[in-house]
Amino acid sequence: MLGRDRTQYKTPDQIRLMRRAGLVVADALDAVLAAVRPGATTRELDDVAHDVIRSAGAVPSFLKYGHPPYPSTTCISVNDEVVHGIPGDRALEAGDIVSVDCGAILAGWHGDSAFSVIVPADGEDPSRAGSDADRDLVETTRQAMWRGIRAIAAGARLNAIGGAIEDFVDERFGLVEEYGGHGIGTEMHQDPHVLNYRTREAGRRMRSGLCLAIEPMLTAGDPETRVLPDHWTVATVDGSRAAHWEHTAALHDGGLWVLTARDGGEAGLAELGLTFAPLAD
């Protein structure tokens, strides 16, 4: 159902279908995370995601997307790369920040999700990997994403999302403004565009059936970015490191369900005092 505001509002049954696509993306990203280690190439990680998506009977949504056609299943962005990094021969090193973004289509419905992680040295506790500053960057980005998700609420204005993200991100970090979240459903990118910062314009009121991908991008330095000559990779201009987290969430009459989180958003929302709301089968 297309609203007058060009937003595709989903029925509960459509949201259930999007949950199935979301779980395929969750499976793919879990498998990639398990394969992150020093020496692994970003192409090897991409192959892992591709295999999971294909064996689930789903289709990688990034492959052949856009112009020039995107060549891979995932975007893998390392260190100063923010988003849209193309997998290739680059071998990961301990201490690298690696951001993996993945989308899949199942039965015509999309899921879209991303995580950032610091590559642990062999045998190292992943939670202790990298520098304090890099761990802070990755964790702050993750928490900013959850704050953006929590701001999705019936009756609230769309710019509550960007406001919640901007309020949470302090001046130690750069908040990238050129890219943002988006509506998602039978296309990966739908109306509305979701800014990661507060604007004067309040935006439409959010209502049941709205499905959004929320995806803040933070940098350790200046947030200005540039696109590399490969036409896709977005990197910081000043060379500072970056992190990116994303989940696809659905607002329905019962509340909020995070479709690409394996637990439906239960833990992430509970940290912020909100009870997640899965739809019963």
Applying CB under 5 A, the residues found at the interface with Mg ion are 101, 112, 114, 213, 246
**Judged by CB, which is closer to Mg ion: 134, or 246?**
246
- Cα gap 247→252, rounded to integer Å: 16
N-term to C-term CA, the chain: 21
> Could you give the angle at which helices 12-35 and 42-55 cross, rounded to 10 degrees?
140
Beta-bridge partner residues of 16: none
Question: What's the closest the beta carbon of residue 73 comes to Mg ion, in angstroms?
Answer: 12
CA distances from 221 to 133, 172, 241 (A): 11, 8, 7
CA distances from 219 to 80, 84, 93, 133, 236 (A): 8, 15, 20, 11, 8
Question: What's the closest the beta carbon of residue 278 comes to Mg ion, in angstroms?
Answer: 22
Question: What's the closest the beta carbon of residue 182 comes to Mg ion, in angstroms?
Answer: 6
Question: What's the closest the beta carbon of residue 66 comes to Mg ion, in angstroms?
Answer: 13
Q: Is 116 helix (H, G, I), strand (E, B) or coil?
A: strand
Residue 201 exposure: Cα atoms within 13 Å on the Cβ side: 5
CB of 257 closer than 8 Å to CB of 268: no
Question: What's the closest the beta carbon of residue 106 comes to Mg ion, in angstroms?
Answer: 16
Q: Is 257 helix (H, G, I), strand (E, B) or coil?
A: strand
Question: What's the closest the beta carbon of residue 244 comes to Mg ion, in angstroms?
Answer: 8
